[in-house]
Structure 1
Amino acid sequence: MNHWFMLEEAMIIVTGATGRLGHKIVEKLLDHVPADTVGVSVRDPDKAAVLAARGVRVRAGDFTEPARLDHAFEGADQVLVVSASIRGPQAAGANRAAIDAAVRSGAARVLYTSHQVASPDSLFDPGRQHAETEKHLADQGVAYTALRHGFYASTFEHYVPAALRTGEFWLPQDGPVSWTAHADLVEADVIALTRPGVLDGVTPPLTAAEMLDFSDVARVLSELAGRTITRVVVGDEEWKEAVIGQGMPAAAAEFTLGMFRAARAGQFAVTDPTLENLLGRPAISARAVLASFLTQHDER
C-alpha cells in the first residue's frame, strides 16, 4: 500500500536545496508531489538550475539576509527550514530568521531539521543552538515539526580515511552514538512533509537502532577492510594540539571536541523506534554506511 499522502496544489518550500541534505530531500519529494508545488530557497540559484529545469520554483534566499527570504517563501503552505550550516551562536540567529520569514509568508506549518541532542545543557554546541531554535519555533503560534535527526553517520567520512591510511582511529575518548544514515532521515523528512499529522511538534529522536563508539567502529571497519584498525584514545589537549598543527583552525578543533565530550557523557546514547516505525523497515546500519564508504574509497 502506498503510504505517501499527496498534497495537491499545496506549495512546499525547502531551504538549502543545493546542500547535501536539502538536495536529497527535494529529490525525494519530487517522487511524490508535482514539481510545480515545490519551491526552493538557495543562496545561489544558478546551482539549482537542474531543479528549475524540472519545474521547481527556484528563488534566492539567505538566512543572513532575512528580507530576501520573504520573496523566496512567498505563497508557502509549508516551509522546511534545513538548519543553517553555521557554527556558534550565529546558527540559532540564522535559523530564527528563517522561521520568522516562514511565518511572515503565511505558511500554515513550519518544519525544522533539529538534532537528537537538542538541549540547552548539551556539551555539543549544535545541541544548544538547536534547542534555542526549537523554543523559538514553538512560540510562533503555527503548526510545527522539529525533526530531531539522529547523529549523521556521514561523520565517519572525517575519520575513516585517516584510519585506513594509518591503521588507527587516533581520537579523544568518546561514547556510544546512534549513527543514522542521511537517506533514512531524508525519507522521514519527506514523510513529515507529505503526511501531515504523522510527526507534529518535537519528534522523538529519529535514530537508527544500534549504538557504536569508535572502538566498535574500529572493529566493524577492520572486518570490512580485512585488516586491523586499532582504536587509540588520546587526551583532548594532545589531540587538539596535533590537529591544529595539521592545519585545522582552533575554533574547529574546539567545536569537534564538543562532540567527543558529549559522547563520553552519554548524551548521544539514545535510540528510539520512531524512525524505523515511520519507514516501515529497519534503518540503514552503521556497518552498511561504512561498507558503502569503503566501496567509494576503493573506486577512487
Structure 2
Amino acid sequence: MIVVTGATGGLGGATVEHLLNRVPADRIGVSVRDTAKAQHLADRGVRVRQGSYEDPAALRDSFAGAEQVLVVSGNDPAADMVGLHRNAVEAAVAAGARRILYTSQQAAVPGNPYGPSEFHIATEAILRDSGTDWTALRNGAYGPLDQVLGPWQRTGVIAQPEDGPIPFTDRDEIAEATAVILAGDRSFDGPVTLTAPTAVTFDDFAKIVSDLTGRTIKRIVVDDEQWVAEQIAVGVPEQMARLLLTWYQAARAGYFAEADPLLAELLGREPRSAADRLAAHIGQ
C-alpha cells in the first residue's frame, strides 16, 4: 500500500489523483487531519484514516500496512517542523514502511539563505539516519505565478527585490511525477530534483508577458528594506516578510539556478515552462 499524507492539500491531493490513474484505489491510503474532507477519496475506494504530525500514535495507525509513505512537508514557520517531520518518519518506520518519500525543496543545501532550507536539510538528515530507504523530492518553486509576479496586469510593472534564475515548476506536474515514482518499479535513493526545464528571471518574465499581452511591462528592482516595508503596510507580518525576502536572496545568490531533466524523464514529455503557464493564465 502507498500512504499519502496531506491528501486534502494541494500537492498531496493532486498526487493521489495521479496515483488513482496508475494503481487500484485499494492500494492507496491517505493520512489526513479531517477525514470528512477526504470523503471524496473514500467514496472511490481509497483507505482514509485520521492522522496528524502532532499525534504519533494516530500516524502509526494511519500508516499501518504501508510499503511506501509520502510525507508531505509542512510549512508553518511558527511550528517545530523538524520535530513534526521526525514524528512522521518515526511513525512510518514503526509501521514497517520499506521506503519513505519526503517533499523537500530544490537546493536544500547548507548555506542556502532561504529560511525553510534549514528544516528540509534537517529532515533529510533524519531520513538518512532512519534505517529505511528514502527519497527526498527536492521540488522546484511551484507557487502560483500571479503571487510571484504581483499585480503587473494592473500596474504594468513587475516590482520585486533583486532576484536570480529560478525554474518555476507546475505543481500538478510535480504531483504527477511523484505518482510515477510511487507507482513505478524504479527506485530513487536520496535526494532527487524535480524542476521545469528552464530557469528564468523577473527580467525574462517582463519580456514574456510583454510579448503575450502586446503591452510594455517593465521590471523594477525594489530595495530589500523598502519591499519589506511595503509588505508590512499591506498586512504581512514582519517576520513573514523577512522570511519571504530570504527566497529572493537565495535566488540572487544562484541557489535555484540549475534546472534538472528528471521531471521531463518521469513525465515522458517536456514540462510546462513559465511562458506556457502564463499564456494559459492570461488566456483564461
| Residue matched to 1:268 | 256
SS at match of 1:125: coil
> For the residues of structure 2 that align with 1:48 and 1:89, how far apart are their CA atoms?
24
Aligned residues: 284
* 1:81-134 deviation line (CA, Å, top 9, x unaligned): 111132267222222211111111111111111111111321111222111111
Gaps of 5+ in 2: none
SS at match of 2:194: coil
Residue 67 (1) aligns with residue 70 (2) = no
Deviation at residue 155 of structure 1 after TM alignment: 3.8
Gaps of 5+ in 1: 1-10
Q: How does 1:131-146 map to 2 (within 5 A)?
A: 131-146=121-136
Residue 190 (1) aligns with residue 190 (2) = no
Deviation at residue 283 of structure 1 after TM alignment: 1.4
From 188, 195, 198, give the equivalent of 1:199: 188
The question of whether the paired residues in 2 share the 8 Å contact of 1:120 and 1:132 is answered with no
| Counterpart residue identity of residue 67, structure 2 | D
> For the residues of structure 2 that align with 1:183 and 1:41, how far apart are their CA atoms?
20
From 261, 285, 295, give the equivalent of 2:273: 285
RMSD: 1.5
SS at match of 2:159: strand
The question of whether the paired residues in 2 share the 8 Å contact of 1:168 and 1:231 is answered with yes
Q: What is the TM-score of this pair, normalised by structure 2? A: 0.95
| Residue matched to 1:8 | none
* CA gap 1:52/1:89 in 2 versus in 1, 3 angstroms: closer
* 1:114-165 deviation line (CA, Å, top 9, x unaligned): 111111321111222111111110111111111111121x341314451111
> For the residues of structure 2 that align with 1:224 and 1:95, how far apart are their CA atoms?
42
| Residue matched to 2:228 | 240
The question of whether the paired residues in 1 share the 8 Å contact of 2:163 and 2:202 is answered with yes
Deviates more, 1:222-231 or 1:172-181: 222-231
From 208, 212, 218, give the equivalent of 2:206: 218
| Residue matched to 1:98 | 88
Percent identity, aligned pairs only, is 46
> For the residues of structure 1 that align with 2:26 and 2:230, how far apart are their CA atoms?
51
The question of whether the paired residues in 2 share the 8 Å contact of 1:40 and 1:58 is answered with yes
The question of whether the paired residues in 1 share the 8 Å contact of 2:150 and 2:159 is answered with no
From 149, 161, 164, give the equivalent of 2:153: 164
| Residue matched to 1:49 | 39
> For the residues of structure 2 that align with 1:202 and 1:174, how far apart are their CA atoms?
25
The question of whether the paired residues in 2 share the 8 Å contact of 1:178 and 1:211 is answered with yes
Deviation at residue 56 of structure 1 after TM alignment: 0.6
Q: What is the TM-score of this pair, normalised by structure 1? A: 0.91
> For the residues of structure 2 that align with 1:163 and 1:198, how far apart are their CA atoms?
42
Q: Which runs of 4+ in 1 moved over 4 A?
A: none
| Counterpart residue identity of residue 37, structure 1 | R
* CA gap 1:263/1:161 in 2 versus in 1, 3 angstroms: closer
> For the residues of structure 1 that align with 2:224 and 2:69, how far apart are their CA atoms?
40
